[in-house]
Protein backbone atom coordinates (compact mmCIF):
# COMPACT_ATOMS: atom_id res chain seq x y z
CA UNK A 1 0.00 0.00 0.00
CA UNK A 2 2.83 2.37 0.81
CA UNK A 3 4.35 2.06 -2.67
CA UNK A 4 0.96 2.56 -4.32
CA UNK A 5 0.29 5.57 -2.12
CA UNK A 6 3.58 7.18 -3.14
CA UNK A 7 2.94 6.37 -6.81
CA UNK A 8 -0.47 8.02 -6.62
CA UNK A 9 0.89 10.94 -4.65
CA UNK A 10 3.35 11.73 -7.41
CA UNK A 11 0.38 12.06 -9.78
CA UNK A 12 -1.64 14.55 -7.72
CA UNK A 13 -1.63 18.30 -8.40
CA UNK A 14 -3.94 19.76 -5.78
CA UNK A 15 -5.17 23.17 -4.65
CA UNK A 16 -6.27 24.52 -1.30
CA UNK A 17 -8.09 27.47 0.28
CA UNK A 18 -6.38 30.54 1.71
CA UNK A 19 -2.83 31.72 1.99
CA UNK A 20 -1.52 29.08 4.38
CA UNK A 21 -0.59 25.53 3.42
CA UNK A 22 -2.98 23.04 5.11
CA UNK A 23 -1.50 20.50 7.52
CA UNK A 24 -2.55 17.54 5.35
CA UNK A 25 -0.71 19.03 2.37
CA UNK A 26 2.36 19.53 4.54
CA UNK A 27 2.20 15.91 5.71
CA UNK A 28 1.96 14.54 2.17
CA UNK A 29 4.78 16.74 0.91
CA UNK A 30 7.04 15.62 3.75
CA UNK A 31 6.25 12.00 2.86
CA UNK A 32 7.08 12.68 -0.83
CA UNK A 33 3.45 11.82 -1.59
CA UNK A 34 2.24 14.96 -3.35
CA UNK A 35 3.56 15.63 -6.84
CA UNK A 36 2.27 19.14 -7.33
CA UNK A 37 0.30 22.10 -6.03
CA UNK A 38 -1.91 24.34 -8.16
CA UNK A 39 -2.34 27.94 -7.02
CA UNK A 40 -5.32 30.25 -7.45
CA UNK A 41 -6.26 33.85 -6.67
CA UNK A 42 -7.41 32.73 -3.23
CA UNK A 43 -3.80 31.76 -2.40
CA UNK A 44 -2.25 35.07 -3.49
CA UNK A 45 -1.97 38.42 -1.73
CA UNK A 46 1.42 39.86 -2.66
CA UNK A 47 4.55 38.78 -4.51
CA UNK A 48 6.41 38.50 -1.21
CA UNK A 49 3.76 36.22 0.26
CA UNK A 50 3.71 34.09 -2.89
CA UNK A 51 7.49 33.64 -2.76
CA UNK A 52 7.31 32.63 0.91
CA UNK A 53 4.56 30.11 0.17
CA UNK A 54 6.34 28.52 -2.78
CA UNK A 55 9.64 28.37 -0.87
CA UNK A 56 7.87 26.57 1.95
CA UNK A 57 6.31 24.05 -0.44
CA UNK A 58 9.62 23.37 -2.19
CA UNK A 59 11.42 22.94 1.13
CA UNK A 60 9.06 20.28 2.47
CA UNK A 61 9.76 17.57 -0.08
CA UNK A 62 12.87 15.77 -1.25
CA UNK A 63 11.28 15.24 -4.68
CA UNK A 64 10.91 18.25 -7.02
CA UNK A 65 7.32 19.48 -6.88
CA UNK A 66 5.27 21.01 -9.67
CA UNK A 67 3.91 24.43 -8.72
CA UNK A 68 1.27 25.29 -11.30
CA UNK A 69 -0.93 28.25 -12.15
CA UNK A 70 -3.30 29.39 -14.92
CA UNK A 71 -1.80 32.79 -15.81
CA UNK A 72 -3.11 33.29 -19.35
CA UNK A 73 -3.78 37.02 -19.42
CA UNK A 74 -7.14 38.72 -19.86
CA UNK A 75 -9.81 37.27 -17.59
CA UNK A 76 -7.89 34.11 -16.69
CA UNK A 77 -5.27 35.23 -14.19
CA UNK A 78 -4.68 34.04 -10.63
CA UNK A 79 -2.06 36.55 -9.50
CA UNK A 80 -2.95 40.23 -9.78
CA UNK A 81 -1.80 43.16 -7.66
CA UNK A 82 2.01 43.17 -7.87
CA UNK A 83 1.98 40.88 -10.91
CA UNK A 84 2.11 42.29 -14.45
CA UNK A 85 -1.29 42.55 -16.10
CA UNK A 86 -1.94 41.89 -19.79
CA UNK A 87 -4.91 41.64 -22.18
CA UNK A 88 -6.27 38.31 -23.37
CA UNK A 89 -4.65 36.27 -26.15
CA UNK A 90 -7.62 37.08 -28.39
CA UNK A 91 -6.95 40.81 -27.94
CA UNK A 92 -3.49 40.32 -29.43
CA UNK A 93 -4.76 37.98 -32.11
CA UNK A 94 -7.38 40.41 -33.39
CA UNK A 95 -4.64 43.01 -33.78
CA UNK A 96 -2.24 40.46 -35.34
CA UNK A 97 0.17 41.42 -32.58
CA UNK A 98 2.18 38.25 -32.07
CA UNK A 99 5.07 40.20 -30.55
CA UNK A 100 2.74 41.71 -27.97
CA UNK A 101 1.52 38.33 -26.74
CA UNK A 102 5.03 36.91 -26.70
CA UNK A 103 6.28 39.86 -24.68
CA UNK A 104 3.45 39.33 -22.19
CA UNK A 105 4.21 35.60 -22.06
CA UNK A 106 7.89 36.25 -21.36
CA UNK A 107 7.32 38.87 -18.68
CA UNK A 108 4.74 36.71 -16.95
CA UNK A 109 7.08 33.71 -17.03
CA UNK A 110 9.94 35.79 -15.64
CA UNK A 111 7.78 36.85 -12.68
CA UNK A 112 6.56 33.29 -12.11
CA UNK A 113 10.09 31.91 -12.14
CA UNK A 114 11.27 34.50 -9.62
CA UNK A 115 8.30 33.63 -7.40
CA UNK A 116 9.07 29.90 -7.43
CA UNK A 117 6.21 28.86 -9.73
CA UNK A 118 7.59 26.42 -12.32
CA UNK A 119 4.53 25.55 -14.46
CA UNK A 120 2.22 27.92 -16.31
CA UNK A 121 -0.75 26.04 -17.76
CA UNK A 122 -0.43 27.58 -21.21
CA UNK A 123 -0.51 27.74 -24.21
CA UNK A 124 -4.22 27.52 -24.95
CA UNK A 125 -4.33 25.47 -28.16
CA UNK A 126 -8.09 25.62 -28.72
CA UNK A 127 -9.09 27.47 -31.88
CA UNK A 128 -11.03 30.67 -31.23
CA UNK A 129 -14.80 30.14 -31.62
CA UNK A 130 -17.01 32.82 -33.14
CA UNK A 131 -19.32 33.02 -30.13
CA UNK A 132 -18.02 35.77 -27.83
CA UNK A 133 -19.79 34.08 -24.89
CA UNK A 134 -17.93 30.80 -25.44
CA UNK A 135 -15.65 29.73 -22.57
CA UNK A 136 -12.64 29.78 -24.93
CA UNK A 137 -13.33 32.86 -27.08
CA UNK A 138 -11.05 35.46 -25.41
CA UNK A 139 -8.52 32.82 -24.36
CA UNK A 140 -7.50 31.78 -27.88
CA UNK A 141 -5.17 33.75 -30.11
CA UNK A 142 -6.76 32.79 -33.44
CA UNK A 143 -9.39 30.73 -35.23
CA UNK A 144 -6.86 29.82 -37.91
CA UNK A 145 -5.13 26.48 -37.15
CA UNK A 146 -1.82 27.41 -38.76
CA UNK A 147 -1.68 30.83 -37.11
CA UNK A 148 -2.42 29.14 -33.78
CA UNK A 149 0.29 26.55 -34.44
CA UNK A 150 2.88 29.28 -35.01
CA UNK A 151 1.92 31.07 -31.80
CA UNK A 152 1.92 27.87 -29.78
CA UNK A 153 5.48 27.04 -30.89
CA UNK A 154 6.67 30.52 -29.98
CA UNK A 155 4.98 30.58 -26.57
CA UNK A 156 6.47 27.22 -25.60
CA UNK A 157 9.93 28.42 -26.63
CA UNK A 158 9.38 31.64 -24.70
CA UNK A 159 8.39 29.81 -21.51
CA UNK A 160 11.37 27.48 -21.76
CA UNK A 161 13.77 30.40 -22.14
CA UNK A 162 12.38 31.90 -18.92
CA UNK A 163 12.69 28.65 -16.97
CA UNK A 164 8.96 27.83 -16.79
CA UNK A 165 7.27 24.59 -17.88
CA UNK A 166 4.47 24.63 -20.46
CA UNK A 167 1.15 22.80 -20.85
CA UNK A 168 -0.84 22.64 -24.09
CA UNK A 169 -4.59 22.69 -23.44
CA UNK A 170 -7.47 21.72 -23.79
CA UNK A 171 -7.16 18.49 -25.78
CA UNK A 172 -8.88 17.55 -28.10
CA UNK A 173 -9.97 21.18 -28.55
CA UNK A 174 -13.07 23.02 -27.36
CA UNK A 175 -13.74 25.30 -30.34
CA UNK A 176 -16.65 23.23 -31.64
CA UNK A 177 -18.11 22.55 -28.21
CA UNK A 178 -21.15 23.90 -26.45
CA UNK A 179 -21.49 24.04 -22.70
CA UNK A 180 -18.80 25.26 -20.31
CA UNK A 181 -17.09 22.23 -18.66
CA UNK A 182 -16.79 24.26 -15.45
CA UNK A 183 -20.57 24.01 -15.15
CA UNK A 184 -21.83 21.13 -17.33
CA UNK A 185 -20.56 18.33 -19.51
CA UNK A 186 -19.25 20.09 -22.61
CA UNK A 187 -20.21 18.45 -25.92
CA UNK A 188 -19.03 18.51 -29.52
CA UNK A 189 -20.77 16.75 -32.41
CA UNK A 190 -17.73 17.16 -34.64
CA UNK A 191 -16.27 14.16 -36.46
CA UNK A 192 -12.87 12.64 -35.76
CA UNK A 193 -11.75 13.74 -39.24
CA UNK A 194 -12.58 17.36 -38.42
CA UNK A 195 -10.74 17.20 -35.10
CA UNK A 196 -7.69 15.76 -36.83
CA UNK A 197 -7.76 18.21 -39.73
CA UNK A 198 -8.26 21.38 -37.65
CA UNK A 199 -8.24 21.16 -33.86
CA UNK A 200 -5.21 18.89 -33.61
CA UNK A 201 -2.94 21.21 -35.63
CA UNK A 202 -1.94 23.45 -32.68
CA UNK A 203 -1.44 20.38 -30.47
CA UNK A 204 0.79 18.78 -33.08
CA UNK A 205 2.80 22.01 -33.18
CA UNK A 206 3.08 21.92 -29.39
CA UNK A 207 4.43 18.37 -29.52
CA UNK A 208 6.92 19.35 -32.22
CA UNK A 209 8.04 22.23 -29.96
CA UNK A 210 8.59 19.75 -27.09
CA UNK A 211 5.78 21.00 -24.89
CA UNK A 212 6.21 19.71 -21.35
CA UNK A 213 2.71 18.28 -20.91
CA UNK A 214 -0.74 18.23 -22.51
CA UNK A 215 -4.03 18.76 -20.69
CA UNK A 216 -7.08 16.69 -21.61
CA UNK A 217 -10.48 18.22 -20.92
CA UNK A 218 -14.03 17.28 -20.00
CA UNK A 219 -15.53 17.09 -23.49
CA UNK A 220 -18.04 14.54 -24.71
CA UNK A 221 -17.57 13.91 -28.44
CA UNK A 222 -20.00 11.08 -29.27
CA UNK A 223 -18.71 10.57 -32.82
CA UNK A 224 -15.36 9.55 -31.35
CA UNK A 225 -16.33 8.04 -27.98
CA UNK A 226 -20.01 7.94 -27.10
CA UNK A 227 -19.39 6.47 -23.65
CA UNK A 228 -16.93 8.80 -21.93
CA UNK A 229 -15.72 12.39 -21.82
CA UNK A 230 -12.20 12.84 -23.20
CA UNK A 231 -10.77 12.92 -19.66
CA UNK A 232 -12.07 9.40 -19.03
CA UNK A 233 -11.58 8.11 -22.57
CA UNK A 234 -8.72 5.82 -23.58
CA UNK A 235 -9.76 6.53 -27.18
CA UNK A 236 -8.73 10.15 -26.77
CA UNK A 237 -5.78 9.72 -24.41
CA UNK A 238 -4.19 6.53 -25.73
CA UNK A 239 -5.41 6.24 -29.30
CA UNK A 240 -5.48 9.89 -30.35
CA UNK A 241 -2.95 11.66 -28.14
CA UNK A 242 -0.43 8.87 -27.62
CA UNK A 243 -0.69 6.80 -30.80
CA UNK A 244 -2.00 9.16 -33.49
CA UNK A 245 -0.18 12.33 -32.38
CA UNK A 246 2.75 10.48 -30.84
CA UNK A 247 2.94 12.39 -27.55
CA UNK A 248 5.16 10.63 -25.00
CA UNK A 249 5.22 13.16 -22.15
CA UNK A 250 2.90 13.51 -19.16
CA UNK A 251 -0.83 13.88 -19.78
CA UNK A 252 -2.55 16.04 -17.17
CA UNK A 253 -6.29 16.34 -16.55
CA UNK A 254 -8.30 19.50 -16.36
CA UNK A 255 -9.68 20.11 -12.86
CA UNK A 256 -11.48 16.95 -11.78
CA UNK A 257 -13.70 18.98 -9.46
CA UNK A 258 -15.40 20.74 -12.39
CA UNK A 259 -19.04 19.87 -12.89
CA UNK A 260 -18.14 18.54 -16.33
CA UNK A 261 -16.11 15.77 -14.70
CA UNK A 262 -18.31 15.01 -11.71
CA UNK A 263 -21.69 14.37 -13.37
CA UNK A 264 -22.68 11.03 -11.85
CA UNK A 265 -19.13 10.46 -10.60
CA UNK A 266 -17.64 10.77 -7.10
CA UNK A 267 -14.42 12.71 -6.48
CA UNK A 268 -12.12 9.70 -6.10
CA UNK A 269 -13.88 7.84 -8.92
CA UNK A 270 -13.08 10.71 -11.30
CA UNK A 271 -9.40 10.22 -10.54
CA UNK A 272 -9.62 6.46 -11.06
CA UNK A 273 -11.35 6.88 -14.43
CA UNK A 274 -8.77 9.41 -15.57
CA UNK A 275 -5.87 7.16 -14.54
CA UNK A 276 -7.33 4.13 -16.31
CA UNK A 277 -7.86 6.22 -19.45
CA UNK A 278 -4.16 7.04 -19.47
CA UNK A 279 -3.60 10.35 -17.65
CA UNK A 280 -0.46 10.76 -15.56
CA UNK A 281 -1.23 13.88 -13.52
CA UNK A 282 -4.57 14.66 -11.85
CA UNK A 283 -5.64 18.21 -11.04
CA UNK A 284 -7.96 18.58 -8.07
CA UNK A 285 -8.52 22.32 -7.72
CA UNK A 286 -9.46 22.33 -4.05
CA UNK A 287 -8.87 19.43 -1.67
CA UNK A 288 -8.38 21.55 1.45
CA UNK A 289 -10.55 19.30 3.60
CA UNK A 290 -10.41 15.90 1.93
CA UNK A 291 -7.06 15.28 0.27
CA UNK A 292 -6.33 12.36 2.62
CA UNK A 293 -9.69 10.57 2.08
CA UNK A 294 -9.43 10.96 -1.71
CA UNK A 295 -5.86 9.67 -1.69
CA UNK A 296 -6.81 6.71 0.48
CA UNK A 297 -9.85 5.84 -1.65
CA UNK A 298 -7.84 5.71 -4.88
CA UNK A 299 -4.98 3.81 -3.21
CA UNK A 300 -7.35 1.19 -1.79
CA UNK A 301 -8.98 0.78 -5.19
CA UNK A 302 -5.55 0.19 -6.75
CA UNK A 303 -4.69 -2.41 -4.10
CA UNK A 304 -7.55 -4.58 -5.35
CA UNK A 305 -7.31 -3.74 -9.07
CA UNK A 306 -4.09 -4.88 -10.82
CA UNK A 307 -4.83 -2.79 -13.92
CA UNK A 308 -5.16 0.38 -11.83
CA UNK A 309 -2.05 -0.49 -9.81
CA UNK A 310 -0.08 -0.98 -13.02
CA UNK A 311 -1.24 2.39 -14.31
CA UNK A 312 -0.09 4.07 -11.08
CA UNK A 313 3.35 2.54 -11.48
CA UNK A 314 3.57 3.52 -15.17
CA UNK A 315 2.58 7.13 -14.56
CA UNK A 316 4.75 7.47 -11.47
CA UNK A 317 7.75 6.31 -13.47
CA UNK A 318 6.97 8.71 -16.33
CA UNK A 319 6.62 11.63 -13.88
CA UNK A 320 9.86 10.73 -12.12
CA UNK A 321 11.77 10.70 -15.41
CA UNK A 322 10.05 13.90 -16.53
CA UNK A 323 10.99 15.75 -13.35
CA UNK A 324 14.59 14.60 -13.49
CA UNK A 325 14.87 15.78 -17.08
CA UNK A 326 12.68 18.86 -17.31
CA UNK A 327 12.73 20.37 -13.82
CA UNK A 328 16.47 19.96 -13.63
CA UNK A 329 16.77 21.69 -17.00
CA UNK A 330 14.49 24.49 -15.78
CA UNK A 331 16.67 25.20 -12.76
CA UNK A 332 15.22 22.86 -10.14
CA UNK A 333 17.65 20.62 -8.28
CA UNK A 334 16.41 17.01 -8.03
CA UNK A 335 19.30 16.01 -5.74
CA UNK A 336 17.77 15.58 -2.24
CA UNK A 337 21.13 16.27 -0.61
CA UNK A 338 21.15 19.78 -2.03
CA UNK A 339 17.51 20.70 -1.36
CA UNK A 340 16.57 22.91 1.62
CA UNK A 341 16.18 21.28 5.01
CA UNK A 342 12.66 20.29 5.84
Other CB atoms within 10 Å distance of the CB of residue 239: 16
Pairwise CA distance, residues 34 & 139, whole Å:
30
Q: Which of 91, 113, 137, 182 is catalytic?
A: 182
Whether 196 contacts 244, CB under 8 Å? yes
Q: Which of 254, 255, 305, 317 is catalytic?
A: 254
Continuous H helices in 13-128: 23-30, 47-60, 89-94, 98-115
Question: Angle 253-281-205 (CA atoms, 0-180°, nearest 5)?
Answer: 65
32: left (phi over 0), alpha (psi -120 to 50) or beta: left
- Is residue 74 helix, strand or coil? coil
Which has the closest alpha carbon to 168: 135, 212, 133?
212
User: What is the number of residues in the chain?
Assistant: 342
Residue 170 preceded by cis peptide, ω within 30: yes
Is 182 annotated as catalytic?
yes
Which has the closest alpha carbon to 208: 144, 156, 140, 143?
156
User: How far, CA to CA in Å, does 111 sit from each of 85, 155, 158?
Assistant: 11, 15, 13
Helix (H) or strand (E) holding 271: helix 267-277
Is 96 annotated as catalytic?
no
Pairwise CA distance, residues 311 & 128, whole Å:
34
Longest dimension (CA), the chain: 56
Q: What is the DSSP letter of 341?
A: P
The set of catalytic residues is 182, 254
Amino acid sequence: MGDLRRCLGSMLVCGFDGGALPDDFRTLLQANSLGGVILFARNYSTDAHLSELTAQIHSLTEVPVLLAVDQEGGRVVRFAGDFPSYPSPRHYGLQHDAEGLLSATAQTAEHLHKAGVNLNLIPVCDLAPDDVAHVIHSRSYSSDPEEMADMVRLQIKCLREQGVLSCAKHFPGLASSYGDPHNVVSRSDQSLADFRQRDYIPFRAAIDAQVDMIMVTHLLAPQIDANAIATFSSVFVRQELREYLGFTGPVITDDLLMAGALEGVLTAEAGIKAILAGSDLLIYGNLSDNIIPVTEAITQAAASDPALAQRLEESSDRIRRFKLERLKAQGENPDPAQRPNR
